[in-house]
Amino acid sequence: AAADPVSVLPGSFGRGSWCNEHDRMHERLDIIEEKVIKTVEHLESEVKSLLNIISETSNIPIAPGTPLTDIFDGKY
């Protein structure tokens, strides 16, 4: 017992319990990482789609004198 510092520390969980908690934490972090990656991929797809729509509509010829529309309504 003296050679194992974890077993002599007061209030220690012991080696097995700590390892299990550590493994559970990594499993949760892996799940969060996967969700973040999927969210980023989804947002990239949405941004590409919006940029395509903007580029398609910006090629529409505008008649001279036609007022331009502020898509942000002056908020930005």
pLDDT in tens, 19-65: 899 999 999 999 999 999 999 999 999 999 998 888 887 766 667 77
Q: Which helix (H) or strand (E) holds 22?
A: helix 15-58
Q: What is the pTM of this model?
A: 0.52
Q: 66: alpha, beta or left, given left = phi > 0 and alpha = psi -120 to 50?
A: beta
Determine contact, residues 12/5, Cβ cutoff 8 Å.
no
Which pLDDT belongs to residue 1? 47
Residue type, 44: E
Cα 17 from Cα 4, distance rounded (Å): 15
